[in-house]
Chain A
Amino acid sequence: MSENPGLIVRDLEIFSADGQTLVGPVSFDFNPGQRLGLIGESGSGKSLAALAIIGLLPDGLSSRGSIELGGRQLVGAPERIMNTVRGTDVAVVFQEPLTALDPLMRIGKQLAEPLRRRAAADGERLTRQQLRLLVRERLADVRLPDPDAIALAFPHQISGGQRQRAALAIALSGRPSLLIADEPTTALDVTVQSEILDLLDRLVDERGMSLLFISHDLAVVARIAPRVVVLQKGLVVEEGMLADVLANPRHAYTHELVDSARSLDNALDDALNGRDA
């Protein structure tokens, strides 16, 4: 990693085709190597904000304002620029790995392509043998058992947790400085979720990446990001250290979120301690 730029989002607005404001204006930022949790419920605009950052807003949607990544302006950047930004500066892991992966392509091949492109961008040409070894290494990095077998598998042949690991390997293949994880564990079983969160935590740490972690679940965010921004109906209603937000939510909506999460957590606490709820 040469440089590791932070992300500065200023007055970002996202509009629908008929000119309705869907998001914003929102502003948030974080320094290189930091982690930020973006919290909100369905329709709060958290995923749209993520798509705007990587320049992949759905057709018809447009954005205004400023998204600066490592000093480079991404709003209005030509597609040619965004093509190199995606993958090498910023990469995304989505909620559902089945939609992120090509169902008709073996996992190894899906991973080889961005690895080859990254090498080419660095002025290297990889032989097939080198590429195969690299694919295997990257699959082992995300703690996939038997990388050789996984490389030859199609997405439907492996489990949901393994697919999410493979999607993560692909996202990390371009050595991005910023990783956006959009509800990456929501579709997974709770034991698998726990493993993926551990893995993310370690990889982000080891590589000094910045992480934008999007979730509706305060307890999940608490495991991975110390600072949070709370979105409601496209607007930032609160931001701060998660511990402070949990102890002292200021906005009514955050209050509701925290109370709800707290009451389930308390019920769990009582049960774990053998107390009647």
Chain B
Amino acid sequence: MTPVLEARNIHFGYRRNQEVLTDVSFAVEEGSNVGLVGESGAGKTTLLRILLGLAIPSAGQVFSDGMPFDARDRKQLRAYRRMTQTVFQDPYSSLDPRQTIGQILAEPLRSLGITTNATEIRQHMAESLRAVGLPTDITKRYPAEFSGGQRQRIAIARAIAPNPRVLLADEPVSALDVSTRIKVIDLLAELGRGVDGRTGMSVVLVTHDLGVVAALCDRVVILENGRVVEQGDTRSVMGLPQNGYTKRLLASVPRLPVVP
């Protein structure tokens, strides 16, 4: 099957400096969730920017449905944006405080040319709010009236409103409280599978948290200093890590004591 999104031999470097990404390749199959794992400086954010079309690789290519994607081509970028939406780490800074929830949710529908019809926009909004487990009557309220977990749900609702096939999530739960975290992870897992008659999508999760990857991702890509050191099925990579860095990463995760 042609992957819905694929990075092939991606390199990225700033002029005269050491490369930030070196020969990074991985594929996102339709409906499967992929975790991009690494610590600070691993190149996660740069890779995400490239996958979003916000940065151009110095070598290598992103493919969408098997077709090379050129972020400099405005027409391609527009089509790509309908297919690929994103959720950021901090729901306090990713939602415009002066816009109502309704304005926030309608924005991508209009700007991506999905619909300008008021009735259709209302339908889309209601559908995505229902999908993230929020009441549909909050569209006149402002982000400040909501908690961190609720705001992240609103950000997810905005991302899924145009029915993307890929959701790129950058540390979507690390700014949230522990008790909220698991609910948002469950929500992402549900959206990946498809709920309420929505088709499922692929979630690409950029994170440093292996617990979150284990809970959500079928596949995992381990990045160290801009290189892929290991990738594969989550349970084989984590169950039988081959690379020294992967092993060290796994051994470092704080664990709960075993309770009899």
B208 touches A219 (CB 8 A): no
Query: By DSSP majority rule, is chain B's interface helix, strand, loop, or mixed?
Result: helix
B178 touches A218 (CB 8 A): yes
> Closest Cβ of chain A: how far from B148's Cβ, in Å?
7
Which residue on chain B has the smallest CB distance to residue A245?
Answer: B259
In the complex, which range does the number of interface residues on chain B fall in? 35 or more
B208 touches A243 (CB 8 A): no
A257 vs B254: C-alpha distance when bound (angstroms): 16
Asked if A242 is at the interface of the complex by the 8 Å CB criterion, the answer is yes
- Kindly list chain A residues whose C-beta atoms are within 8 Å of the C-beta of B40: 160, 189
A154 vs B38: C-alpha distance when bound (angstroms): 26
B208 touches A190 (CB 8 A): yes
Asked if B260 is at the interface of the complex by the 8 Å CB criterion, the answer is yes
> Closest Cβ of chain A: how far from B242's Cβ, in Å?
13
Contact of B235 among A160, A194, A219, A274 (CB under 8 A): A274
- Kindly list chain A residues whose C-beta atoms are within 8 Å of the C-beta of B256: 218-219, 222, 246, 261-262, 265
B259 touches A246 (CB 8 A): yes
Query: Contact flags (1/0) for B12-31 with A, using CB distance below 8 Å?
Result: 00000000000000000000
B254 touches A272 (CB 8 A): no
Max chain A Cβ within 10 angstroms of own Cβ: one of B178, B236, B238, B257:
B178
Contact of A193 among B178, B212, B254 (CB under 8 A): B254
- Kindly list chain B residues whose C-beta atoms are within 8 Å of the C-beta of A268: 210-211, 214-215, 238, 253, 255
Q: In the complex, which residues 215-260 of chain B have their Cβ closer than 8 Å to any Cβ of chain A?
A: 215, 234-236, 238-240, 248-257, 259-260
> Closest Cβ of chain B: how far from A73's Cβ, in Å?
34
The interface size of chain A toward B, counting residues with CB under 8 Å, comes to 41
Contact of A277 among B39, B214, B251 (CB under 8 A): B214
Asked if A191 is at the interface of the complex by the 8 Å CB criterion, the answer is yes
A-binding residues in B (CB < 8 A) = 39-40, 148, 177-179, 181-182, 185, 208-215, 234-236, 238-240, 248-257, 259-260
- Of the A-B pairs whose beta carbons lie under 8 Å apart in the complex, a sample of 21, sorted by A's number, is A189-B40, A190-B252, A192-B39, A194-B254, A216-B177, A219-B256, A222-B255, A246-B259, A259-B182, A260-B179, A261-B256, A263-B215, A264-B185, A265-B256, A268-B253, A270-B214, A271-B213, A271-B239, A274-B236, A274-B239, A277-B214
